[in-house]
Amino acid sequence: MFISAARYFFFNQEQESTTITLNINMILIIFSHPYPHRSHANKTILDSIAKTEHVFITDLYQKYPDFHINVIEEQSLLRQAKLIIFQFPIYWYNVPALLKQWQEMVLSRQFLLGDGDHGCALQGKSAMAVVTAGHKHQSYQQGGEDNYNVEEFLRPLEQLSVHCGMHYHSPLILHQAHKASETELTQFSRLYSQRIEQLYQKNNNNDE
Partner 1 sequence: MNEHSLLVNILIYLLSAVIAVPIFKKMGLGSVLGYLAAGTIIGPWGLSLITNIDDILHFSEFGVVLLFFLIGLELEPKRLLEMRHSIIGMGSVQIILTSFFLFIICLWYGLNWSSALIVAMSLSLSSTAITLQILKEKNLLKTDTGHSAFSVLLFQDIAVIPIMAAFPLIGGSQIGESHSLVSAAAEIIAVILLVVIGGHYLTKPIFQIIARTHMRELFIAFTLLLIIAIALLMEKIGLSMALGSFLAGVLLAKSEFRHELEVEIDPFKGLLMGLFFMAIGMSINLSLLIEQPFLIFSLVTILIMVKLGVLFIVARIFSFPKSQYTFFAIILSQGGEFAFVLFALAGNLDILSKQLIELLIVVVALTMAITPLLIWFNEFFIAPRFAQLSSRTESVKLQDIGHPVIIAGFGRFGRVVGRLLHANKIPTTILDHDPDKIDDARKYGYQVYYGDARKSALLNSAGADSAKIMIICVDDPQMVLDIVDMAKKHFPHLTILSRAYDMGHAFELLDRDIKLFQREMLSSAMILGEKTLTELGYGAYEAHHATKIFCDHDRNLFQQLYQTDALEKRISISRQARDELEKVLAGDQEEQSRRNYDGWG
Residue ranges that bind partner 1, judged by CB under 8 A: 6, 9-10, 33-42, 61-63, 65-66, 89, 91, 98, 132-134, 174, 177-178
- Starting at the edge strand found earlier in the chain, the sheet holding 26-31 runs 55-59, 26-31, 81-89, 126-132, 167-174
Q: How far is CA 159 from the centre of its chain?
A: 15
The nearest distance, CB 135 to partner 1, in angstroms, is 10
Q: Cα separation of 180 and 183, whole Å?
A: 8
Q: Which is nearer to partner 1, 9 or 148 (CB)?
A: 9
The nearest distance, CB 44 to partner 1, in angstroms, is 10
Q: Which is nearer to partner 1, 65 or 156 (CB)?
A: 65
CB neighbour list of residue 142: distance below 8 Å, 6 or more residues apart: 148
Q: Which is nearer to partner 1, 132 or 189 (CB)?
A: 132
The total of other beta-carbon atoms located within 10 Å of residue 117's CB is: 5
The nearest distance, CB 192 to partner 1, in angstroms, is 14
Q: Which is nearer to partner 1, 41 or 199 (CB)?
A: 41
Q: Which is nearer to partner 1, 91 or 148 (CB)?
A: 91
Residue 57's SS3 state is strand
The total of other beta-carbon atoms located within 10 Å of residue 91's CB is: 16
Of 133, 146, 147, 123, residue with least CA distance to 179? 133
